[in-house]
Amino acid sequence: MQLADLHRSRVIPANEYRRERWRNQLGWTREIARWPEEGDWNWRLSIAEIERDSAFSAFPGIDRELVLLSGNGLRLRFEDGAVHDLEPPHGKLRFAGEASLVGELIDGPTHDFNLMWRRDRVRAQLWHRPLVGPMVIFVEPYTTWAVHLMAGQAHFGDDSGLPALAAGDSAIFTAGDERLRHVLDGGGEALLIRIEPHASS
């Protein structure tokens, strides 16, 4: 399946995320979206539910970025001795998926947004942005944008046909060979993710 076949925009309500075990069976995650949906994915968005100190699953060939969504913080303790705290309100860290590490709860459970991508196939960027009034999102050909509404409410332009976003919902925009344009209007906070294939792909 080619990216051009996935020219579409969709909203995924939080109650439709798929809850599943971690690869190492030590925790739970709620998967928001992946592409391709079958077989080995190029990218994946999910929310990890961390209720106890746990080793993270290993993902060779994958890069990832973790963002604290709720809770009092998560300490990432790497096997090489590096330590990084995801502190409230929304601390984040990008790291290699094959790194060996343990997540330690600082004070109670956390929910953490998890962006993962296969580094030899795609590039990914993530931004945390306030939403105050309208925001225009341009999706270049063969590129995907995702919006995860962390707090507040938002809606799209009248001609989009997309439902409104409530806190916790996500939207995915994938362009084929023509650029897409969406206007997101509302108030709150959002994570914005841009994913594009390497030129060789």
pTM summary value: 0.93
> How do residues 85-139 score in pLDDT, each as one tens digit?
999 999 999 999 999 999 999 999 999 999 999 999 999 999 999 999 999 999 9
> How do residues 138-194 score in pLDDT, each as one tens digit?
999 999 999 999 999 999 986 788 999 999 999 999 999 999 999 999 999 999 999
Q: 């060939």: which residue's tokens? A: 61
Other C-beta atoms within 10 Å of 190: how many? 25
Domains of the chain with CATH codes: 15-118 (2.60.120.10), 122-197 (2.60.120.10)
pLDDT value at residue 65: 98
First to last CA, the chain: 13
C-alpha span between 99 and 124 (Å, rounded): 18
Q: What is the DSSP letter of 3?
A: G
